[in-house]
Structures are given as C-alpha cells and as structure tokens.
Structure 1
Amino acid sequence: MANPSRLRATALTTSAVLLFAALTGCGGDSEDGDLTHQRLDWKDCPAPSEAEGGGSAPSPLPNGTEWQCATMKAPLDWADPEGDTIGIALIRARADGPADRRIGSLVFNFGGPGGSGVTTLPAFGPDYAALGTRYDLVSFDPRGVGRSAPVKCESDARLDEFFQQDATPDDGAERADLLQRTRQFNAACEKNSRKVLPHVRTTDAARDMDLMRQVLGDRKLYYFGISYGTELGGVYAHLFPKHVGRAVFDAVVDPTQNAEQSALGQAKGFQLALDNFAKDCTSKTTECPIGDTPQEVKERIAKLLADLEQKPIPGISPRELTQTAATNGIAQSLYSKDFWEFLTEGLEEAYDGDGKILMLLSDSMNGRSENGEYSNLTAANAAINCSDDKARYTADYVQRRLPRFRAASDLFGDYLAWGMISCTDWAVPGAADHPDVSARGSAPILVIGNTGDPATPYEGARKMVNALGKGVGVELTYKGQGHGAYDSKNKCVQSAVNGYLLDGKVPKAGLVCS
C-alpha cells in the first residue's frame, strides 16, 4: 500500500528501506529469431536508473559473489509474438556451492506491483545466502517497471503536488478536486506511455517469466514470490502448471477478492498492525513516549491527523507534512516491526511540530529519493493494477461504502476507500474481477501466511491454497508481525522454506511457526 489515490498495492516489500541497485547489460540476439534461443550478455551492473530508484551499483554479497545484469528480449504484445520487442531487465548472483549440486535459477518477485527486482534482490541478497548455495539468485524488473519498458506518467514536480493533495475528501468540492487530479494523472500516463499500457497485465509478466525460464536454461521454474509476487506466481502456475518446479509464496495476496474487497481487507490489516504497535509500545518496561495506554496512543495519532488536515506542519522543505502524507508514513512503518521505532520517533517529533521522519517514511512508500527524484513505482503500480482489475469505481460509490471502511478502521478506512477511484478513466480496460490461479497438475507450492501481516492479511493464504486446487497449495502459518515471514529470520519458517527449495522436502500441511 502507498498513497491510496494511487497505490492500492498488494504491498511493496521493496518500499521503505532499500531502493538501491542495478542494471543492465544488453541481451545477445538469438541466431534464428526465436526468443527462447536468445543468449543473455551478462555484465557488471551499473547504478540503477532513476526509474529504478537511483543510488549506487550493488555491492557484492558477503561471500564476494558479484552481481551481474542482462536484458532479455520479450514480445511487446504476447498476442503477436513475432512483432515488436521490449527489454526485460535481469539481475543474478551465481550459485556459490559445488557445481554438481546446482539446481538452477531461483527467480524472485518482491511485490508491488511496480517494485524493481533489480534493485531489491541485492538489498535483501544476504538473507538468501542459504538458497544461493544451490541456485543462481535471479530477479527482474517486470514489464512497465524500472528499465523494462517503464511506464511514465507525471514529472517529479507534478508528483510532489500530487502526493500533497487531500486523499480523504470531506465535501463535494474536495471530492471533485481528488477526482480531477486522478484523471489528470491517468491522462498523463496515457499520453506518455500509450504504447506499453495495454501490455503490462500480470498475465503478460507471467508469460515473460516462462520465456525467462527457458532462456536461463531451466526445465522448470523455481520461484520465490512475495506480496504481489504471490499473485504473479499464482497466475504463472495457472498458465503453466506443468512448468512449476519448487515455488514459495510469502505474504500472500487473496486471489478471490476484487479491488474493493482487497482494500477493505487492508483497512482491517493495517488497523490490526496499528493495534499491535500500540500494545507493544505501552507494554515495554521503559515508558512509551507517545501514550500511556494503547487507546491513548491511537487517540493521539487520530488527533494529530485531524490537526494536520486543518494545519500541516513543516516536513522536508519546502513541502509540509499533510494529513495524507502522515497517514501514508504511518502505514509505511507498519510493514515491519523493525520500523516501529521509527514510527515512535516520527510521532514524537510530529507532536512537537516536526514532520520530517513521517514525511521520509511517506516518500519511501511513494518511491521518492532524497534528491527529489521519483522511481516509476507509482506509475507502474497504477498501470498494472488498472490493467488487471476490471472494476471502475465512482466517487458516489465510494461515498456510499465509507461506513464499511470506517468500521474496519477509524484511521485507515477513508484513506483506503478513496484509493478505489484510482482507475477512473484509465485508458485500458481491466481484465477481470480477480486473477485465476487454479493450477491443477502443478508441483506443490508452499504458501505462507503471517497472522500479523497488515498489507496482505493472513486469511489470504488459506484462500490461495484453496484456489490453487487440491494437492497444490501447502499452507504454513507464521504467528508474527510485519509483511512477510521468511525475512523475519524465524528459524522455523526458514527451515521449512530452505528444506523445500534446496532438498525438495515438502512441509506438512498446516505447520505453524511462532
């Protein structure tokens, strides 16, 4: 999730922390014109592009393994595979174990949609050291993202204005303004990215992954999907069930929900995470600096947001911390328990009139670097979501649904409800109400749900298992906090995942880790 007027996200594991990394060498042409026979020209990775978030070239892994980058050619339009092509940016670290123990390539997608895998994999690379003993660790910028035919919408200056708007309107004039700004953003996407917009659906990315599997030389796809990456993995398994090798879905998107149901689920999920944050702060032996009881913590946050609607406070000059930016920053900090200390500090400072920390968190969610440049995270997220989701909600419809959202969360209800208008007047029709992930005949897929996940609520894991079909999904429950389980470093979770991906040991269905 990010600013609700844009990112209805099924969540961004790439957000906050870590936008640094790399791309891209040029792909060698195939000798016969068949894209499955193309040779990838792996080279040292340069610094990431502005669309990928900027920063420095990726550092080697702790064991000294260097990152390499390449570009794979894929059809712009999979309905016309011999027509125009686009480049799909790839990154890899070669397996560092014995050659005779190498399984193949393990392909990662970290979510969004709209996150750059080329920048995110190096950031998290050390966490996957055990998997790197038998796999080449591989990720990519999906089409429309980063350096893979990136969607372009607004300029950086216009995005600064866009994210300062009031995303929770209280009257007719504010509703009209939000709708007008949304239409302007969407029109800019059409104007600047007309050629690629019809071709960034999740089904297109799934077909790219099957081409990638072949170009990388693997008979089966070995896959690790996180957040939206679980939806992409489910769609791949539906389209190519016989091509699935070993796959893990972590922080699972509920594939049975439409856009409204997903937004409502996130309202409940972020409220749960906020409740857990408030309890954690006030249960410590040292004094909680933002309230004496969980209820007081939440009441003070609500008052802060109400005050910011009337009078923003200084943020990162010349921008002010608005109600929307503060809500966005709070949501960002709930993605991981590791960020709770920053939320506490940010709230403390905001109560004293300084909004810098909350604004930094909000900027991170929106893909804004410290130098004021935006990645194309917002644009790609809009393009993929609006191409996938059939629903087109009106302001009047959202207004009628507000009571349900407010019942789910006083703090995040309006914020997520109004995000549903983000596809208003989008140039490309949406594909379906929800993805089809039925995958009869697929190899087992390990599906991990986290009971405290704010962005992809726990219930989605069971829904994914059921939707994949009998004998495919294997459910694992992690009783923890934050978005995702493997990167929590929980030994039980990592043992189950590593045992399956490295040795093919399918965990017992219903395993619970805490």
Structure 2
Amino acid sequence: MVAALTAVVLSATACTGADRPESALDWAGCGDGFECAELSVPLDHDSPGGERIKISVIRLPASGDRIGSILVNPGGPGGSGVEYARSARSVLSEAVRARFDVVGFDPRGVGGSSPVRCLSSSDLDAYLALDTSPDSPAEVTALEEGSRRFAAGCQARSGKLLPHVGTADAARDMDLLRAALGDEGLTYLGKSYGTQLGAVYADLFPGRVRALVLDGAVDPSLSPLELNATQAHGFEVALDAFLENCFTAGDCPFDGPVKSAREEIAGLLRKVDQETLANQNGDGRQIGEAWTTLGLITPLYDRQSWPALRRALNEALEGDGTTLLRMADLLIDRREGGTYSNQTEANMAVNCVDGRFPRDSSAFAAAARDAAGDAPLFGPSVMWSSLPCAYWPVGGESRGKVDAPGAAPIMVVGTERDPATPYAWSEALADQLSSGVLVGFDGDGHTAYLTGSSCVDRLVDDYLINLAVPKDGTYCPKIG
C-alpha cells in the first residue's frame, strides 16, 4: 500500500512541478486583517492536466520579523481550516504569529473547497437521530436503511468528487499550497485528524518538512474499526475523569463512586431509548439515545465545558434534554435555523476512502458487541457510526504505518486523558515516524497546545520558531 502511494506521488510530482507555484494566489482583503485567495489544484492528481477544483485559502500576515508561513488544520476530517485560521489569535501564540503568516485552507471536499454534499438538513436530522446502539432487529434495519440513504445521497450529489477526497489528495494540495506561498519547507500545526494529514504529508514529501506539530495524534497503522474501538475507550476514560472531578462540585448530580455514577448514566441512556427527553429548542427534534450520546460526548472534548455537562446531566435526569441537544449541535456544526455546515458529510466521505471498511453490517454488529465490553457507554455508538462506509460507492484503502524517512524532526504532542485521540495514538505515531519526537501532557480534554499548559506552549513555540527539538519523551505536568 505505501509503495503504491509513493509511486503515484512521484508521478504526480514529476508532472506538476510541486517545487514551484502551481498557480498564483491572488490575495484580497477579507476583514479583520485577513486576506483570502483560491488555489487551483487538479481534481485527480494522477491527471494533473485534467479538471481542476479550487481550494479556499486565508492568511493573517505576520506581525513581526517574518520567517515564512505556518499552515494550520483543526481536524475532523471535515473541519474548516479557513474558519480555524480566523481564530488565529487564540490558535497560535503571539510569538508565533509575529514570525509567521498564519495560513488556513479548507481541504478538498470541505467548506469552501468543492464541498461534499449528501443530504438535506432535514434528512441529516433524521440520520443523526438514528439509534447507533441498536438493540432490536427493527433498529438495525433502520440504521442500515439510513446508512444506505446517506451513501446514495453522497453519490448522487457529489459522486465525481468522492474518489478524490482522501488524506493523500489533501496532502498533495497542501504541498502545492506550500509552493504557491513560496516556502521551501512546510511549517504546520495540525490537531486531531490534522495530525494524520501532517503525517501523510511528511511521508509523501519528507524532504519538504521544516517543522510539523502534530497535536492529539491519530495512529494511521490501525484499521478503521480498531480506531473506532480505541476512540470509544478514550471517551470512557475521559468520562471517568469528568466524574471524579464532578464529585467535588456542589452541583454534581451524582454522589459517587464512579461505578455508581456510570450506572446512572447507563440507566439514562436506556430510558431515552424508550422515552425521549423534552426539547425546549422549538425545533421539534426528538431527543432519543443518539442525540443524548452526542450531547454527552461533546463537553468531554474540553475541561472548561465540564460545568455545562454537570448542568446538562442534572436537567436530563429530570427529563429535559435541551442542553444536551445544544451541545450535540456544537459537535456536528448544526447552525441556528437548522442548517448544517458540510462537516458531517465531509467527515464520512474522507473516512470512508481513507480506510478499508467491512462491506456488510454484520461485521459492524460484531465489532459493536466487542467494543461494549471495553467501552459499555460509548462503544456501540462509535462503532455503528461508520456504517455508511459499508455501502460507500467508492472503495477505501488503509494507508498503514507512516515513517517519513529523512524528514526533519517532527513533534508529536499527546494528552494523557484525551477523549477523541487517546494518548496511545500519539505514542504510536511518534514511534512510527523516523524523526518523531513525543511530548506528553498530563491533562484532560482534546489536544494540548494553548489549553493551559505553559510547558507545552513553550516547547511548541520554541520548536516552531527556532527549530529547537525537545527531548523525545518529554512529559509536561498536570496544571492546577
């Protein structure tokens, strides 16, 4: 698999001349000190002379003595790099922003870059409401039918794009963007799925790496269902950390211990599987088990959201799911008025072509049963959530390990109790990369940089600006 991809990239690079700008970037002001442009790239990198698509790009010029550009990606897949860069003043330290133009881009299929579309907003509401921990044949059938509709909708509305939205394609776009920006080597901050994009870039273009920070890493060596199972366990670990903290708060709905509180949450999920929670949002959605589970998962991403989760659980145990639903909407980017960004659709499209999924639902059922042993609250839902990939119109391929031989040192940052990208994934990625350097953080929440650890922030900034490589295995202590 790696050899085949390397051969494709070498062929495409020879044809496109990725060491020079593929097309000029015509920058224009787009508010608040930012400039916007579009980059023209091939739809199919194997046919660089064929149809082209536009990649949406934004930058905030450096405020001081400029070194070059730093590209940023928030993860997903499906997260908008343009919107992420709009938050540059909270995404990167002042010291980094002084020395680099902050550049964000929407990866192909996302946001403003030829977005994948599959379903109407009302159809997405219906799909996301499907019970992803089915415990009856009828619920399994409903989930299968909904997943088929999702896949068929993507083929009908975005079929031409679907074969070309994988991470390797986005990495090649990123190299064309690097060249168009005039940077000899890539400087990059990728979080969550953005670490996979950065690692694949390094594997394809090891000689063009200047400095990559991969924060909250994904382990590319795992199969899709292995990734799902490990992530589900990560959510359980994060929930336990939340509960331990919750018992110290006056508004905690549980008295402890953790085992007892988990049983109460499991009871809540069983209850809402039969009787929906009240919804005061006025949008008519029925808050069943699927919406409740999404609402529980969302605040685990950020320790600062734990008070909101306590409030939401107090309300839910009294029969009101409004706050849980609002938090679920944040995770899936459902906006006021009931419209969605294309984050959910792009996420599915990229994941389905980036991995080799089973092509029948029975394998998902077996994986869900296995996951329930290690992750009883979240395992089945996380496993079944990928079911549309069983019916995807385009086959997927797992990349496997990445090693990026010859690349400059690459900094991998892992958070001990990260719910979405477990710490073991950061350890694995740093070990796979020939020049990987691991920095650990004894923390909670998703990703580490600029989340409160001065130790992490100092190491990242010094690496990005001065190319000061931390000692492999450096571990930053817990914050207060």
Q: Distance in 2 between matches of 1:201 and 1:288?
A: 43
Q: Distance in 1 between matches of 2:43 and 2:21?
A: 15
Aligned to 1:108: 72
Greater alpha carbon shift after TM alignment, 162-171 vs 488-497: 162-171
1:37 Cα offset (Å): 4.8
**Partner secondary structure for residue 441 of structure 2:** strand
Matched, 1:177 2:142: yes
Structure 1 unaligned spans of 5+ = 1-31, 46-57, 61-65
Q: Distance in 2 between matches of 1:380 and 1:83?
A: 23
1:391 Cα offset (Å): 2.0
Greater alpha carbon shift after TM alignment, 292-301 vs 340-349: 292-301
CA contact (8 A) 1:190 1:197 kept: yes
Aligned to 1:89: 56
Alignment of 1:458-497 (within 5 A): 458-469=423-434, 472-497=435-460
Alignment of 1:15-54 (within 5 A): 36-45=21-30
CA contact (8 A) 1:329 1:361 kept: yes
1:287 Cα offset (Å): 5.2
Alignment of 1:410-425 (within 5 A): 410-425=376-391
Instruction: List per-residue Cα deviations over 1:50-74 (Å, max 9, x = no partner).
Output: xxxxxxxx6x3xxxxx121111111
1:292 Cα offset (Å): 4.2
Matched, 1:300 2:264: yes
Matched, 1:499 2:466: no
Aligned to 2:375: 409
Structure 1 stretches of at least 4 aligned residues deviating more than 6 Å after TM superposition = none
Structure 2 unaligned spans of 5+ = 1-16
1:298 Cα offset (Å): 1.8
Q: Distance in 1 between matches of 2:264 and 2:190?
A: 37
CA contact (8 A) 1:272 1:454 kept: yes
CA contact (8 A) 2:39 2:177 kept: yes
Write the letter of the residue equivalent to 1:161.
Answer: A
Aligned to 1:14: none
Write the letter of the residue equivalent to 2:48.
Answer: P
Instruction: List per-residue Cα deviations over 1:339-365 (Å, max 9, x = no partner).
Output: 111111111111222211100111112
1:393 Cα offset (Å): 4.5
Aligned to 2:109: 144
Aligned to 1:268: 233
1:374 Cα offset (Å): 0.4
Q: Distance in 1 between matches of 2:177 and 2:367?
A: 42
Aligned to 2:406: 441
- What RMSD in Å do the two structures reach over aligned CA positions? 1.6
Select 1:243's aligned residue among 191, 196, 208: 208
Select 1:155's aligned residue among 103, 115, 120: 120
Q: Distance in 2 between matches of 1:201 and 1:266?
A: 21
1:188 Cα offset (Å): 0.4
Instruction: List per-residue Cα deviations over 1:160-205 (Å, max 9, x = no partner).
Output: 1111121211122211111111001100000000111111111100
Write the letter of the residue equivalent to 2:375.
Answer: S
CA contact (8 A) 2:85 2:91 kept: no
Alignment of 1:206-355 (within 5 A): 206-284=171-249, 286=250, 288-315=252-279, 316-317=281-282, 318-355=284-321
Greater alpha carbon shift after TM alignment, 488-497 vs 308-317: 308-317
Aligned to 1:513: 476
Instruction: List per-residue Cα deviations over 1:403-431 (Å, max 9, x = no partner).
Output: 42111111101111212423022111102
**Partner secondary structure for residue 167 of structure 1:** coil
Q: Distance in 1 between matches of 2:269 and 2:356?
A: 33
**Partner secondary structure for residue 314 of structure 1:** coil
Select 1:119's aligned residue among 83, 93, 117: 83
Q: Distance in 2 between matches of 1:330 and 1:487?
A: 24
1:401 Cα offset (Å): 2.9
CA gap 1:254/1:125 in 2 versus in 1, 3 angstroms:
same
Q: Distance in 1 between matches of 2:106 and 2:22?
A: 21
Q: Distance in 2 between matches of 1:460 and 1:428?
A: 27
Instruction: List per-residue Cα deviations over 1:88-113 (Å, max 9, x = no partner).
Output: 00111000013xxx111000111000
CA contact (8 A) 2:20 2:179 kept: no
Matched, 1:452 2:437: no
CA contact (8 A) 1:37 1:215 kept: yes
1:243 Cα offset (Å): 0.4
Instruction: List per-residue Cα deviations over 1:350-394 (Å, max 9, x = no partner).
Output: 122221110011111222002211000011011111111112252
Of Structure 1 and Structure 2, the greater helix share is in 2
Q: Distance in 2 between matches of 1:340 and 1:501?
A: 31
Matched, 1:378 2:344: yes
Greater alpha carbon shift after TM alignment, 139-148 vs 171-180: 171-180
**Partner secondary structure for residue 368 of structure 1:** coil
Aligned to 1:7: none
TM-score by length of 1: 0.86
1:124 Cα offset (Å): 4.9
Q: Distance in 1 between matches of 2:126 and 2:134?
A: 16
Write the letter of the residue equivalent to 1:289.
Answer: P
Instruction: List per-residue Cα deviations over 1:222-247 (Å, max 9, x = no partner).
Output: 11111111111111001100000011
Write the letter of the residue equivalent to 2:60.
Answer: A
Write the letter of the residue equivalent to 1:460.
Answer: W
CA contact (8 A) 2:358 2:364 kept: no
**Partner secondary structure for residue 387 of structure 2:** helix
CA contact (8 A) 1:309 1:322 kept: yes
**Partner secondary structure for residue 275 of structure 1:** helix
Q: Distance in 1 between matches of 2:126 and 2:456?
A: 42
CA contact (8 A) 2:171 2:201 kept: yes
TM-score by length of 2: 0.92
1:35 Cα offset (Å): 8.1
Write the letter of the residue equivalent to 1:405.
Answer: A
1:122 Cα offset (Å): 1.8
Aligned to 2:154: 189
Aligned to 1:387: 353
**Partner secondary structure for residue 437 of structure 1:** coil
CA contact (8 A) 2:22 2:40 kept: no
Q: Distance in 2 between matches of 1:346 and 1:260?
A: 30
Q: Distance in 1 between matches of 2:400 and 2:84?
A: 25
Q: Distance in 1 between matches of 2:376 and 2:404?
A: 38
Aligned to 1:73: 40
CA contact (8 A) 1:231 1:435 kept: no
